[in-house]
Chains A and B, each alone.
Chain A
Amino acid sequence: MSVYFPQKKLPYLLVLPQLVITAIFFLWPAGQAVLQAFYREDAFGLSQQFVGLENFVDLFQDPLYYKSMMVTMVFSFSVAFLGIAVALWLAVMADRVIRGKMVYQTLLVWPYAVAPALAGVLWWILFDPNIGPVALFLDRIGLHWNHFLDGDQAMILVVISATWKQISYNFLFFLAGLQAIPRSLIEAAAIDGASSFKRFWDIVFPLLSPTTFFLLVVNLVYAFFETFGVIDTTTQGGPDGSTNTLVYKVFKDGFIGLDSGGSAAQSIVLMAIVGLMTVIQFRFIERKVQY
Chain B
Amino acid sequence: MRKLMLATSVLGLSIASSSFAATQIEWWHAMGGANGEKLNEIVKEFNDSQTQYTVDPVFKGTYTETMTSAIAAFRAHKQPAIVQVFEVGTATMMAAKGAVYPVYKLMQDTKADFDPNAYLSSVTSYYSDVDGNMLSMPFNSSTPVLYYNKEMFKKAGLTSAPKTWEEVESYSKKLLASGAQCGFTTGWQSWVQLENLSARHDVAFASNDDGFAGLDTNLLFNSPLQVKHISKMREWQQNGIFSYGGRRSDSAPKFYSQQCAMYTGSSSAFGGMTRNAKFDFGVSSLPYWASEVKQPNNTIIGGASLWVLQGKDKAEYQAAAAFLHFLSTPEIQAQWHQFTGYLPITHAAYELTKKEGFYQSHPGTEAAVLQMTASEPTVNSRGLRLGNFVQIRDVINGALESVWSGKESPQAALDTAVKRGDVLLRKFEKAHN
Binding site for B on A (CB under 8 A): 40-47, 49, 58, 62, 64, 128-131, 146, 148-151, 236-241, 252-253, 255-259, 262
Give how many B residues have a beta carbon under 8 Å from the other chain's beta carbons: 39
Please report the C-alpha to C-alpha distance between residue A49 and residue B431 in the assembled complex, in whole angstroms. 8
Q: B254 contacts A130, CB within 8 Å?
A: yes
Q: A257 contacts B244, CB within 8 Å?
A: no
Q: A130 contacts B253, CB within 8 Å?
A: yes
Secondary structure at the A interface, as helix, strand, loop or mixed, is loop
Chain A residues with Cβ below 8 Å from B432 are 42, 47
Q: B247 contacts A238, CB within 8 Å?
A: yes
| Contact mask for chain B residues 407-433; partner A; CB cutoff 8 A; 1 contact, 0 none | 100000000000010010001001110
Which residue from B64, B244, B391, B398 sits with its C-beta under 8 Å from A240? B398
| Contact mask for chain B residues 335-358; partner A; CB cutoff 8 A; 1 contact, 0 none | 000000000000000000000000
Chain A residues with Cβ below 8 Å from B245 are 129-130, 148
The segment from B51-59, B68-76, B161-169 that touches chain A is: B68-76
Q: A256 contacts B247, CB within 8 Å?
A: no
Please report the C-alpha to C-alpha distance between residue A238 and residue B397 in the assembled complex, in whole angstroms. 9
Please report the C-alpha to C-alpha distance between residue A240 and residue B244 in the assembled complex, in whole angstroms. 14
Q: A131 contacts B390, CB within 8 Å?
A: no
Binding site for A on B (CB under 8 A): 64, 68, 71, 74-75, 92, 95-99, 244-247, 250-251, 253-254, 257, 259, 388, 390-391, 394, 397-399, 401-402, 404-405, 407, 420, 423, 427, 430-432
Q: B390 contacts A256, CB within 8 Å?
A: yes
Please report the C-alpha to C-alpha distance between residue A151 and residue B399 in the assembled complex, in whole angstroms. 13
* CB of B191, distance to nearest CB on chain A (Å): 16
Offer 8 A-B interface pairs, CB within 8 angstroms, sorted by A: A42-B431, A62-B423, A64-B420, A130-B250, A131-B257, A149-B244, A239-B405, A252-B391
Which residue from B251, B401, B420, B427 sits with its C-beta under 8 Å from A239? B401
Closest to A148 in B: B246
Chain A residues with Cβ below 8 Å from B398 are 238-241
Known: A149-B401, A239-B405. A256 touches B391 (CB 8 A): yes
Closest to A61 in B: B423
Closest to B427 in A: A259
Closest to B96 in A: A44
Chain A residues with Cβ below 8 Å from B253 are 128, 130-131
Closest to B260 in A: A130
Please report the C-alpha to C-alpha distance between residue A125 and residue B59 in the assembled complex, in whole angstroms. 25
* CB of A10, distance to nearest CB on chain B (Å): 35
Closest to B420 in A: A64
User: Which of A128, A130, A131, A241 gathers most chain B CB within 10 Å?
Assistant: A130
* CB of B215, distance to nearest CB on chain A (Å): 11
Chain A residues with Cβ below 8 Å from B420 are 64
* CB of A147, distance to nearest CB on chain B (Å): 9
Q: A44 contacts B250, CB within 8 Å?
A: no
* CB of B262, distance to nearest CB on chain A (Å): 15
Which residue from A44, A58, A241 sits with its C-beta under 8 Å from B98? A44
Please report the C-alpha to C-alpha distance between residue A238 and residue B394 in the assembled complex, in whole angstroms. 9
* CB of B150, distance to nearest CB on chain A (Å): 21
Please report the C-alpha to C-alpha distance between residue A181 and residue B356 in the assembled complex, in whole angstroms. 80
Chain B residues with Cβ below 8 Å from A239 are 397-398, 401-402, 405
Closest to A130 in B: B253
Closest to B255 in A: A130
A58-B427, A239-B405 known; 10 new pairs, CB 8 Å cut-off, are A129-B246, A130-B246, A146-B244, A148-B250, A238-B401, A252-B391, A255-B68, A256-B390, A257-B388, A258-B92
Please report the C-alpha to C-alpha distance between residue A43 and residue B390 in the assembled complex, in whole angstroms. 13
Which residue from B388, B399, B404, B431 sits with its C-beta under 8 Å from A40? B431
Q: A40 contacts B92, CB within 8 Å?
A: no
Chain B residues with Cβ below 8 Å from A257 are 388, 390-391
Q: A44 contacts B71, CB within 8 Å?
A: yes
Q: B430 contacts A40, CB within 8 Å?
A: yes
Please report the C-alpha to C-alpha distance between residue A46 and residue B11 in the assembled complex, in whole angstroms. 35
Chain A residues with Cβ below 8 Å from B96 are 42-44, 46
Please report the C-alpha to C-alpha distance between residue A241 and residue B75 in the assembled complex, in whole angstroms. 31
Which residue from B64, B71, B251, B405 sits with its C-beta under 8 Å from A43? B71
Chain A residues with Cβ below 8 Å from B405 are 149-151, 239
Q: B95 contacts A42, CB within 8 Å?
A: yes
Which 9 pairs, one residue from A and one from B, show the smallest C-beta to C-beta distance?
A240-B398, A239-B401, A130-B253, A44-B99, A44-B96, A148-B246, A257-B391, A45-B75, A46-B98
* CB of A158, distance to nearest CB on chain B (Å): 15
* CB of A213, distance to nearest CB on chain B (Å): 38
User: Which of B75, B96, B407, B431 gathers most chain A CB within 10 Å?
Assistant: B431
